[in-house]
Amino acid sequence: MIGENGLQQTGQKDIMNTFTEHMTCLYNNIKIEGRKIKELITCGINKIPKIVNEAIEEEITMDELKTAIRKGEEHKSPGQDGICHEFYKIMWEKIKQVVNDETYQLDATIMIYSHK
């Protein structure tokens, strides 16, 4: 990837920064109507149904994590780190506890911020 400075970017951080700068320049000047953003976010749903809200509040199980990894498309990365689903599928038995712990920690963090 070639950066704004004309130099080739090879490091993951440099590539991400170059990509972010490019996308910011590309979309920064688009006029946005606040009403349309609210409409897009709510998608016409004023309130989350109680049954859905209860399901969201439940902890993610190890089986749900494994299913999500198994269903992931090849050569696709589920996050910004660039680690593709193949890695998770191949290494699942060795990393499943770490993935579960991180998911639990993320869930706990979200709960703290949502109740502020």
Q: What is the pLDDT of residue 27?
A: 78
Strand partners, 8: 2
Q: Which residues of 16-36 are buried (b: 16+ CB within 10 A; e: fewer)?
A: eebeeeeeeeeeeeeeeeeee
Q: Which residues of 82-112 are buried (b: 16+ CB within 10 A; e: fewer)?
A: eeebeebeeeeeeeeeebbeebeeeeeeeee
- pLDDT tens digits, residue range 23-69? 888 777 777 777 777 777 777 666 777 888 787 778 888 898 889 88
Helix axes 85-114, 62-71, angle to 10 degrees: 130
What predicted TM-score, i.e. pTM, was given to this entire model?
0.45
Domain extents in the chain: 48-114
Q: Are 19 and 1 in contact (CB under 8 A)?
A: yes
**pLDDT tens, residue by residue, 84-105:** 888 888 888 998 888 888 877 7
Phi–psi pair at 58, nearest 5 degrees: -70, 150
pLDDT number for residue 81: 80
Q: Pick the residue with more confidence: 114 or 93?
A: 93
